[in-house]
Amino acid sequence: SQDRVFNFAAGPATLPENVLQKAESELVNWRNSGMSVMEMSHRGKDFVSIIEKAESDLRTLLNIPSDYAVLFLQGGATTQFASIPLNLCNPNDSVDYIVTGSWGDKAFKEAQKYCKPNVIWSGKSEKYTKIPSFDDLKQNPDAKYLHICANETIHGVEFKDYPTPKNKDGILIADMSSNFCSKPVDVSKFGIIYAGAQKNVGPSGVTIVIIRKDLIGNAQDITPVMLDYKIHAENNSLYNTPPCYGIYMCGLVFEDLVNQGGLVEVEKRNMKKAEILYNAIDGSGGFYRCPVEKSVRSLMNVPFTLEKSELEAELIKEATKEKMVQLKGHRSVGGMRASIYNAMPLAGVEKLVTFMKDFQSRHA
Ligand code: PMP
């Protein structure tokens, strides 16, 4: 609608307008049920049909093999930082973490409470602008799993390929919160993929966990019931009251992505948007700069700085006036960040680039 802005927020983030309109049309009376999805019993046939359809469309999108469970949980990706070691490790087990940004670091720090994690590579000294070369990694053969953050939301660093886990059970785990469903992924390479919904696939409050079924069922005794994958898998994510409305919204987004032609098509659009924006930054003669190494730049989160950093506040102010909002970089790194998730239209990126060129011509 005319009043909507282009929202470049990192999450919660912009959602497809057609999905919001569909939700609006079904808000008060979902498909003649006489009530809103918010008011339904989570065990009634209507809601069960909603969660089953959401799972089935997600399985189609990511081509999820049948030996993987899909769980719709709560607590955000942050809760998974604890759930993963609690479910997969004993307190004395070692695990490997590759730390390519703040989120990988947070995952590592939380794991320290429940097992013995090692950082086998960190990009911190290079300000998190790189992904390591996989050949140089010193993986611990006794580690229970290797953990990565597939896309660092704050630093804009994205794995384009994945390291082969060299631990004894061959388990790779990825936090895909900020690039979930942005491109095809070979799920069979991973033991667990997890993601908070609020960037690419829905509102906050839903956390999606895709887990190989043989990894379920070994939780430490102290594991809270809400963090135990076995409990949630056995109960089809309905052990307790799930975030029903959020799951419904994710389902609408999955359906929309299927209708768009699936993740191959989605990735093409995301590559085009990212290319336009990075080209504008790189072609600005240094007026704008992106610190991330070119080969690992994120298709989702584009951080950049201004050579004249004193102009940042002005740029944000002018962009906001032009209905392009939430361009301020994360408080920990400063600068600017444009998050261009699936639901950011090409027109939004084109408008931003035109604005950035104009801003440069007025302030160079
Ligand atoms: N991992 C990544 C990559 C993230 O971007 C975020 C949120 N910005 C988190 C984890 C934490 O997610 P949540 O707020 O859902 O706990």
State the Cα–Cα distance between residues 198 and 181, nearest whole angstrom.
12
pLDDT at residue number 364? 85
Q: Ligand 1 atom closest to Cα of 196? A: 15
State the Cα–Cα distance between residues 153 and 90, nearest whole angstrom.
30
Q: Kindly state if the Cβ of 306 falls inside 6 Å of ligand 1.
A: no
Give 184-225 pLDDT, tens digit per residue: 999 999 999 999 999 999 999 999 999 999 999 999 999 999
Q: Kindly state if the Cβ of 178 falls inside 6 Å of ligand 1.
A: yes
CB 209 within 8 A of CB 71: yes
**Res 45 pLDDT > 70:** yes
**Res 229 pLDDT > 90:** yes
Q: Kindly state if the Cβ of 292 falls inside 6 Å of ligand 1.
A: no
Expressed in angstroms and rounded, the spacing between residue 80 Cα and the centre of ligand 1 is 10
SS (H, E, C) 15-68: CCHHHHHHHHHHCCCHHHCCCCHHHCCCCCHHHHHHHHHHHHHHHHHHCCCCCE
Average pLDDT in the 250-269 region? 98
Q: Among 116, 144, 183, 199, which one carries the catalytic annotation?
A: 199
In sequence order, which residues have a C-beta less than 8 Å from that of residue 7 and are 6 or more positions away? 13, 14, 325, 326, 344
| pLDDT band at residue 175 under the 50/70/90 scheme | very high
Q: Kindly state if the Cβ of 159 falls inside 6 Å of ligand 1.
A: no
Angle subtended by helix axes 244-259 and 17-26, to nearest 10: 130
pLDDT at residue number 242? 98
Q: Is the ipTM of this complex over 0.90?
A: yes
Ligand 1, atom 5: closest residue by C-alpha? 153
Average pLDDT in the 327-340 region? 94
Average pLDDT in the 29-58 region? 98
**Res 1 pLDDT > 70:** no
Among 157, 177, 200, say which to mutate for ligand 1: greatest number of ligand atoms within 8 Å of CB: 177
CB 340 within 8 A of CB 277: yes
Q: Ligand 1 atom closest to Cα of 79? A: 16
Does residue 3 have an active-site annotation?
no
pLDDT at residue number 332? 87
Average pLDDT in the 107-131 region? 98
| pLDDT band at residue 240 under the 50/70/90 scheme | very high
pLDDT at residue number 2? 73
State the Cα–Cα distance between residues 306 and 87, nearest whole angstrom.
44
Does residue 199 have an active-site annotation?
yes
pLDDT at residue number 208? 98
Q: Which residue has the tokens 């594991």?
A: 223
Average pLDDT in the 48-63 region? 98
The fraction of the chain above a pLDDT of 90, given in percent, is 98
pTM of structure: 0.98
Ligand 1, atom 15: closest residue by C-alpha? 76
Range list of H helices, 152-259: 229-234, 244-259
Q: Which of 222, 240, 223, 145 is nearest to 189 (CA)?
A: 145
Q: What is the chain's mean pLDDT, rounded?
A: 97
Does residue 103 have an active-site annotation?
yes
Q: Kindly state if the Cβ of 57 falls inside 6 Å of ligand 1.
A: no
CB 132 within 8 A of CB 197: no
Ligand 1, atom 12: closest residue by C-alpha? 77
The fraction of the chain above a pLDDT of 70, given in percent, is 100
State the Cα–Cα distance between residues 361 and 353, nearest whole angstrom.
12
Expressed in angstroms and rounded, the spacing between residue 161 Cα and the centre of ligand 1 is 21
Q: Kindly state if the Cβ of 202 falls inside 6 Å of ligand 1.
A: no
Report which residue type is found at 253. Answer: V
Expressed in angstroms and rounded, the spacing between residue 77 Cα and the centre of ligand 1 is 5
Give 141-154 pLDDT, tens digit per residue: 999 999 999 999 99
Pair of tokens at residue 5: 């802005």
Pair of tokens at residue 264: 């191959």
